[in-house]
Structure 1
Amino acid sequence: MTSHPCMKSLLFLLSTLCLCSSHSSSRPLRFSAYLDPMQQFYLRWDHDSKEMITFELQVQSTGWVAFGFTIHGELPGADLVIGGVLPDGNMYFSDWHIVDEETILEDESQDYELLSMTQDKTSTTMTFRRYFQTCDPLDHPITGDTLRVISGFGPDDTIDFFKGKMVKKSLFFMLYYHEEELNSPSVYHVYDLKLDDFPVPEDDTTYACTFIPLPRVKTKHHIYKYDILITPHNITLVHHILVYACGNASVLPTGVSDCYGADPEFSLCSQIVMGWAVGGGSFMFPDETGYSLGTPEDPQWIRLEVHYSNFDLIPDLIDNSGMRFYYTPELRPYDLGVLQTGILTFPIHFLPPGVEAFNSYGLCNTSQFDELNGVPVPDMTVFAYLLHTHLAGRGVRGIQYRDGKQLRILCEDNTYDFNLQETRALKELVTFKAGDEFLVECRYETSDRTGLTVGGPSTLNEMCLAFLYYYPRHNISSCMGYPSIQDVAQDLGHPVADAMEGMVAINMVDWNKETAKSAEKACKEADQVVVIKTIDEVVVNETGFIRDIIENEPMPCKRIFPDEPTAEPEAQARFQEEAMMSSALKTKAALPFPALLFVHLGLPWLLTFFLNVL
């Protein structure tokens, strides 16, 4: 049975009147976000150890309101609840799913529980809850991935869903603590690291770098929080901001210049202190740790890197973006560090065009950490992570191995959104030992691209990175891998003598589904070259190989109303398939390989790479 898109209120309300009593959630909801720029939709939420999540949606409307989840932001296959308060005070609330762009149906299994519904002269507030994984395949599971939410409202209780106002937003729901739950120091100072009146070039990609001294303090202090500083009218231009610690023996240039251009000195300093990317916000470290300032071992200077994507070539832009950090003399038990892992950002990393899914792998083999660090590396306690790809990225995950066996999938986002790149706390602390391996897998889609996509700094290139926040700090800055391009080219039928010939050979492949699948297999099975770097720019090459990944067991489903029926799995499969077919992300086509190699990336960067790394 189908429902006409213009659902009139009488039939709808008679079938969905809420006869249950209204009650409120006893636990305060810790997390919140506006779902739209006009701030008409305000969502609060929280979750508990029983895998139950509670939502409170406040909408500036006295008509019907809706909230739910979509597949990549598309309507077909969406799972949502619709509710409201009638003029006589009766409430209605029900669990629905969207079949296509014109049809919405009520679920046979009702898996959302209404806790309260209130309305005043201007707004409606609906509080409800559900399990992470319901037993209804028509309901989207709530996971540790980025989720796309949809919300809407109408002017009154005549529900015509497809003519109401709708907003969509990506959110991460599995937050584990709020800043207010942490111990804020009684004494603190603020310090800004930013560019000063930088003229943003009329270019699609600019990496601006400068070197800034850290605060001079007489005793040890800890940075315990950082915040983002974006010049308001440039918010759409700033792609990412990174702060790198410099070794105290480094001789640093002055001024502002291209980070990876003709002057290699502006690429010095590679140990991440803090980072921000599109969609991120402030982050406060847990009470156990902070970044150390003021001791002889601590850096005295940093390199500030700001990446601009000025695709519209807007002229006469002046920018003062950067980061602000907060530091205190009230010390924490451990000094914080950040380890950069993933695939070395360079054209050896490539993605074939026209594929729905292509996996790339970068390995960190830590067997030389002790030797490179100078003293044994203590066990690292990992507490947070930041995942990063560019526009083709669809999923990222990091897997930890010890003695050849998989310990865990440490971090993951299987529905990655380029526009929501946040530093995220782990649910539980993870111990990382010297000798462990850490594999970063990135999944990409290039369905709408006709040319090869390669690794590089531009937003139209690709990256595959995972930043691990840990304590106590050591001297290792990064541990990143890439497949032997000679082995990959050989497997694809193009024997080559060196890496440069290998990259050229990859561009000569006749790409189709079969050759793309062969390339993915070759990249996974090839020997991995692992490049390890310290704060003092000491580089060591290690080797390794990609191990198999054991998938996590799915969450068990739970019923909020035990007697409710379950919808047929085939129905959800159909909705999922329809939604996936219509959700391809539109991105600009990649430039031809030679242009990327010698113009977009810059010949000096290529020469520096081959001289210092390969």
Structure 2
Amino acid sequence: MHHQLLNMPLFLLSVLCLYSSHASVPPLRFSAFLDPTHQIYLRWDHNAEEAIMTFELQAHSTGWVSFGFTNNKEITGADFVIGGILPDGNVYFSDWHGVSEDTVLEDENQDYELLSLTQDATSTTMAFRRYFRTCDEDDLDITGDTLRLMAGYGTDDTINFFEGRIVHKSLYMMLLSTEDELHSPSIYHVYDLKVDDFPVPEEDTTYACTFLPLPIVKTKHHIYKFEPRITPRNETLVHHILVYACGNASVLPTGVSDCYGADPDFALCSQVVVGWAVGGGSYMFPDETGISIGTPLDAQWVRLEIHYSNFNLIPDLIDNSGIRIYYTPELRPYDMGVLHTGLFTFPIHFIPPGVDSYMSYGICNTSQFEEMNGAPVPDMHMFGYLLHTHLAGKGVRGVLYRNGEQVTVLCEDNKYDFNLQETRNLKETVIFKPGDEFLVECQYQTLDRTDVIFGGPSTLNEMCLIFLFYYPRNNISSCLGYPDIQYVANELGQEASDEMEGMMAINLVDWDNETIKKAEKACKEAEQTVIIKTIDELVRNETSFIREITDTIPAPCKDISKAIPAPRLKRQTVYKAIPPTTAKALGAKSIFPLPPLLFLSWCFTWLLTSSV
């Protein structure tokens, strides 16, 4: 493969490291292995006030190491650093970007600051930092979206980027705290909600449900943490696990059965208690709140729902997966609840095939919450969320409105990854008041599909949901919207006199750019029916319309040198690939190519002008 040789100006990089390698690395709270074999380990932390993120990468290599960001794992447009220590002890470190799939180029603006670079007999550790948003068009922004990370290393310091080991991982980096920073009770108990030796069918989609008792306690306790318990080797099989609280008047079936099959009783109980989806981990609630158990008002039974995706139709699979809950008698100030919002999962929701970007909307109107709750609804303090779509989903955001005006974009992920669905905290609690509206917008890409995708339970169907975690709890379990499908069908030139005919008419549409745009516009303009449900299965309908969304304005860019950035001109140079046969090892002669006096003069000037 032809590639651009990484013949960086190492004399400049050596000076940079001589100056900054003694900088202290602050404590870094968050960490993750970036590869399955645990050869690359990342630690990081961020300072929101300064809009800067600090990294420490450790790779099991004594050659060059690399770390950065990509769009969908592609080299083109990638933003990364490469560093290492030569055999003679000199350090190199530089900011690069991908020009094409076989060409990478050093940035004109160096926006990563090296803090330290060390090496032992087996590993290289590189600490550095950069602003969330630099002023370099060759850098990718660090945002609150799911980021696609790229890391790698070579066997030695002959930097042949395309022949090194490169790994990719999706990661949410704007974490707010670790479990160590939260209050862990001195007394706690553990309880598993799981299936026992369930034979997973040879089908691409299975929803298995069973009803289980919650722990029996004599006094009130709080569930303060949950974590998935996935049967080993079934990690790719289990798509999501939901735990629903049941009303105490419910008559529940026994055994395990299809959640949404012939027996409607296995779909009883709709108040989500906790939820986990593929890629997620454990979650500890904030110190202010927990899930109440043990009082007459608390659920005694739950419905455990496990979604299996056995796309390879593997036979004889046995599963014992579920959710482990941690509960304590050390009570928190508030009981928490979960509000299920978004687009009602039903074939009224559809996405045309072959589109690069298509938006769907579902709205929640809370005007009937107090009447349905049976008592005044206190302000709902939203503190966390879980976003959920299936394979076509590329972005999700939730927007709060009050008196018809946008209050805030409560949560969003514009680079949503189906394989990383986790419960995330809000930076600050956001208050819902009675009468507020909450809009869920989902963005889809269906370039790989030839047929319409309809809303439904299968992984190949679609969903558009946000689960909101809040306190203090009330009796409302879900608030989901869907558009007037009859109106949409008529706007697409199809005859339909009711919802059923409207859904059937969608399959008759000849999809092209014009009809795709008409469909998206009609679904957004149509009146939405809002279905509100309580824990006791009381259902009422409300209506609402989709409001416009004011986009979040990104923060100003920052230059790592704190200098006022000059306007950037787009490059006109064509960078040609250099055959691998011309590549040479980077030796000591390439580090000091300047005459000694000029070199020392340049060092002194650089140190004075670039100190931070």
1 CA distance for matches of 2:6 and 2:355? 43
Q: Give 1:79-94 correspondences, 5 Å limit.
A: 79-94=79-94
Name the aligned partner's letter for residue 355 of structure 2: V
Q: Alignment partner for residue 13 of structure 1, among 10, 24, 28?
A: 10
Q: Post-superposition shift, 1:26?
A: 4.8
Letter in 2 for 1:33: A
CA distance in 1, matches of 2:20, 2:225: 44
Aligned to 2:95: 95
After superposition, the Cα gap between the structure-2 partners of 1:571 and 1:416, relative to the gap in structure 1 and judged at 3 Å, is: farther
Q: How does 1:27-66 map to 2 (within 5 A)?
A: 27-48=26-47, 49-66=49-66
2: CA distance, partners of 1:565 / 1:235: 47
Q: In structure 2, what is the equivalent of residue 464 of structure 1?
A: 464
Q: Does 1:348 align with 2:348?
A: yes
Distance 2:98 2:168 in 1: 15
Matched residue pairs, number?
A: 571
Q: Secondary structure at the match of 1:156?
A: coil
CA contact (8 A) 1:347 1:456 kept: yes
> How far apart, in 1, do the equivalents of 2:455 and 2:491 lie?
20
1:562 deviates by 3.2
Q: Is the 8 A contact 1:486 1:499 kept in 2?
A: yes
Aligned to 2:426: 426
- SS of the residue aligned with 2:233? helix
- Cα distance, 1:134–1:56 mapped onto 2, change above 3 Å: same
Which letter does structure 2 place at the counterpart of 1:40? Q
Matched, 1:442 2:446: no
For 2:412 and 2:6, locate their aligned partners in 1 and report how far apart those are by CA, in whole Å.
43
Amino acid of the structure 2 residue aligned with 1:37 = P
Give the whole-Å Cα distance in 1 for the aligned partners of 2:564 and 2:19.
15
Cα 1:128–1:246, aligned 2, differ >3 Å: closer, same or farther? same
Quote the Cα distance in structure 2 between the aligned partners of 1:279 and 1:4.
Answer: 36
Q: Distance in 1 between matches of 2:43 and 2:293?
A: 36
| Distance across 1 between alignment mates of 2:511 and 2:571 | 35
Residue in structure 1 matched with residue 394 of structure 2 by the alignment: 394
1:244 matched residue in structure 2: 244
Q: Aligned equivalents of 1:373 and 1:25: distance in 2? A: 55
- Tell me the distance in 1 between the aligned counterparts of 2:41 and 2:85: 18
Match of 1:483 in 2: 483
- Deviation string 1:505-556 (CA, Å, 9 cap, x unpaired) is 0110001111011000000000000000000001000000000000111111
C-alpha distance in structure 2 between counterparts of 1:249 and 1:23, whole Å: 67
**Distance in 2 between the 1:183 and 1:24 partners?**
33
Alpha carbons 1:365, 1:530 under 8 Å: kept: yes
Is 1:336 the counterpart of 2:336 in the alignment? yes
Secondary structure of 1:508's partner? coil
- Could you say what secondary structure the match of 1:20 adopts? helix
CA distance in 1, matches of 2:65, 2:10: 13
Q: Is the 8 A contact 1:109 1:567 kept in 2?
A: no
Deviation at 1:6, TM superposition (A): 5.7
Distance in structure 2 (CA, Å) of the matches to 1:518 and 1:6: 45
Distance 1:23 1:249 in 2: 67
Q: CA deviation at 1:500?
A: 0.6
**What displacement does 1:21 show?**
3.4
**Contact 1:108/1:566 (<8 A) preserved:** no
**4+ residue stretches of structure 1 with deviation over 4 A?**
563-567, 569-572
CA distance in 1, matches of 2:375, 2:536: 15
Check conservation: 1:136, 1:566, Cα contact below 8 A: no
Q: 1:358 to 1:19 in 2, by over 3 A?
A: same
1:109 aligns with 2:106: no
What pairs up with 1:181-580 in 2 under 5 angstroms? Answer: 181-563=181-563, 568=568, 570=570
Q: 1:245 touches 1:535 (CA, 8 Å); kept in 2? A: yes
Would you say the 8 A contact 2:349–2:455 is kept in 1? yes
Using the TM superposition, give the Cα deviation of residue 28 of structure 1 relative to its aligned residue in structure 2, in angstroms.
1.1
How much does 1:464 deviate?
Answer: 0.3
In 2, are the aligned partners of 1:136 and 1:567 still within 8 Å (CA)? no
Which residue identity is paired with 2:212? I
**What is the distance in 1 between the residues matched to 2:22 and 2:436?**
50
CA distance in 2 between counterparts of 1:4 and 1:350 reads: 44
- Contact 1:8–1:158 (Cα < 8 Å) also in 2: no
Q: Is the 8 A contact 1:276 1:422 kept in 2?
A: yes
Give, as a single letter, the amino acid of the residue that structure 2 aligns with 1:5.
Answer: H
Find the aligned partners of 2:30 and 2:403 in 1 and give their Cα distance: 39
Gaps of 5+ in 2: 576-612
3-state DSSP class of the match of 2:486? helix
**Residue type of the partner of 1:275?**
G
| Structure 2 residue identity aligned to 1:45 | W
Shift of the alpha carbon at 1:25?
Answer: 3.8
The answer to whether the Cα contact below 8 Å between 2:20 and 2:114 also exists between their aligned partners in 1 is no
TM-score by length of 2: 0.91
Give 1:568 shift: 3.8
Letter in 2 for 1:96: W
C-alpha distance in 2, partners of 1:563/1:130? 14
Contact 1:67 1:82 survives alignment (8 Å):
yes
In 2: Cα distance, 1:284 partner to 1:569 partner: 48
* C-alpha contact (below 8 Å) 1:350/1:453 kept by paired residues: yes
SS in 2 for 1:372: helix
- Which segments of 5 or more consecutive residues in structure 1 lack a partner in the other structure? 576-614
| Percentage identity across paired residues of the two chains | 70
Deviation at 1:19, TM superposition (A): 3.6
How far residue 16 of structure 1 moved from its aligned partner, in angstroms, is 3.1
Work out whether residues 109 and 565 of structure 1, in 8 Å CA contact, stay in contact via their aligned partners in 2: no
Q: Which 10-residue stretch deviates more, 140-149 or 486-495?
A: 486-495
CA contact (8 A) 1:224 1:284 kept: yes
How much does 1:24 deviate?
4.4
**Residues 73-114 of structure 1, C-alpha deviations (whole Å, 9 max, x = no match):** 111000000000111221111111010122111111111100
Q: Deviations over 1:156-190 (max 9, x none)?
A: 11101011100000010100111100110000000
SS of the residue corresponding to residue 490 of structure 1 reads: helix
Letter aligned with residue 535 of structure 1: I
After TM superposition, give the deviation of residue 498 of structure 1 in Å: 1.0
* Cα separation, 1, equivalents of 2:553 and 2:569: 19
CA contact (8 A) 1:138 1:567 kept: no
Check 1:521–1:465 CA distance in 2 against 1; reply closer, same or farther (3 A cut): same
Q: Is the 8 A contact 2:356 2:446 kept in 1?
A: yes
Give the conservation status (yes or no) of the 8 Å contact 2:25–2:115.
no
- Does residue 21 of structure 2 align to residue 22 of structure 1? yes
Distance 2:355 2:295 in 1: 51
AA matched with 1:31: F
1:6–1:160 Cα contact (<8 Å) kept: no
Aligned to 2:561, what secondary structure does the other structure show?
coil
Q: Could you say if the C-alpha distance between residues 8 and 139 of structure 1 is closer, same or farther in structure 2, counting changes exceeding 3 Å?
A: closer
TM norm structure 1: 0.91
Taking a change above 3 Å as real, the CA distance of residues 489 and 8 of structure 1, as seen in their structure-2 partners, is closer
Aligned counterpart, 1:140 = 140
Q: Partners in 1 of 2:448 and 2:375 — Cα distance?
A: 49
Q: Which residue of 2 aligns with 1:167?
A: 167
Shift of 1:571: 5.7
Q: How does 1:585-604 map to 2 (within 5 A)?
A: none
Residue 37 of structure 1 deviates from its aligned partner by 0.3
CA distance in 1, matches of 2:560, 2:13: 17
3-state SS of the aligned residue for 2:20?
coil
Deviation at 1:495, TM superposition (A): 2.8
- The one-letter code matched in structure 2 to 1:16 is L
Contact 1:108–1:567 (Cα < 8 Å) also in 2: no
Q: Is the 8 A contact 2:207 2:259 kept in 1?
A: yes
